[in-house]
């Protein structure tokens, strides 16, 4: 038994040395290295193949943004409508809603800014969709970077609307509870 245990590591080393000597290694054969470099240089870039898929990806991205835009649009319209209805109702009850009327105007401006930024982004994505496969990858990447740069203000606008509601409109609504109704009798 002790002989088998002593022979096992020796056999493993011998098999490994034989296998290593049979296999051609590229590190020791400079002609093979040069062949691989030439092969890499002669390969055509994958841009024409990926260029065909870009239209599908942009369509998918546009559909995703259209869905999100629809959700934002519905939410902002609901917010604006509900706030204007509440202002009218509270005004008829005799509350002083001048602050809320100003807040509503500011909110509408912020929503309009959101939609102008969004339309600029969507137009830039449409430009990318019309990008031809004859163009270079670098041109496409610069156009894509421009589109991504237009996405940042959209996110900032949405966050600003949310923050404006939470920090300005909501406290003004809560301040109405402390008002004494001045009924016009």
Q: Is residue 152 part of a domain?
A: yes
Confirm if 124 and 150 have CB atoms less than 8 A apart.
yes
Q: Is residue 79 part of a domain?
A: yes
Q: Is residue 183 part of a domain?
A: no
Q: Is residue 29 part of a domain?
A: no
Number of domains in the chain: 1
* CA 41, chain centre distance (Å): 34
Q: Which of 79, 78, 109 is nearest to 169 (CA)?
A: 79
Residue 137's alpha-carbon distances to 3, 48, 56, 123, 157, in angstroms, are: 65, 10, 17, 20, 31
Q: Is residue 104 part of a domain?
A: yes
pLDDT tens, residue by residue, 58-89: 778 788 888 888 888 889 989 999 999 999 99
Q: Is residue 5 part of a domain?
A: no
Number of H helices, E strands in the chain: 6, 0
Q: Is residue 19 part of a domain?
A: no
- How many C-beta atoms lie closer than 10 Å to residue 38's C-beta? 10
Q: What is the pTM of this model?
A: 0.65
Structural domain range at position 95? 61-178
State the Cα–Cα distance between residues 160 and 75, nearest whole angstrom. Answer: 14
Alpha helices in 23-46 (DSSP H): 30-42
pLDDT tens, residue by residue, 23-40: 555 455 555 555 555 555
Q: Is residue 53 part of a domain?
A: no
């Amino acid at each position: 038994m002790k002989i088998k245990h002593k022979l096992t590591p020796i056999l493993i080393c011998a098999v490994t040395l034989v296998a290593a000597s049979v296999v051609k290694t590229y590190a020791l054969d400079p002609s093979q290295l040069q062949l691989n470099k030439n092969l890499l240089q002669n390969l055509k870039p994958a841009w024409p193949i990926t260029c065909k898929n870009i239209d599908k990806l942009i369509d998918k991205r546009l559909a995703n943004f259209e869905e999100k835009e629809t959700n934002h649009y519905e939410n902002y319209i609901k917010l604006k409508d509900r706030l204007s209805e509440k202002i009218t109702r509270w005004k008829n009850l005799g509350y002083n809603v001048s602050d809320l009327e100003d807040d509503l105007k500011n909110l509408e401006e912020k929503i309009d800014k959101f939609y102008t930024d969004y339309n600029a982004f969507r137009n830039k994505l449409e430009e990318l969709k019309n990008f031809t496969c004859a163009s270079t990858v670098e041109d496409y990447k610069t156009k894509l970077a421009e589109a991504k740069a237009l996405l940042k203000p959209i996110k900032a606008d949405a966050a600003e609307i949310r923050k404006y509601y939470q920090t300005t409109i909501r406290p003004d609504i809560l301040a109405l509870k402390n008002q004494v109704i001045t009924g016009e009798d």
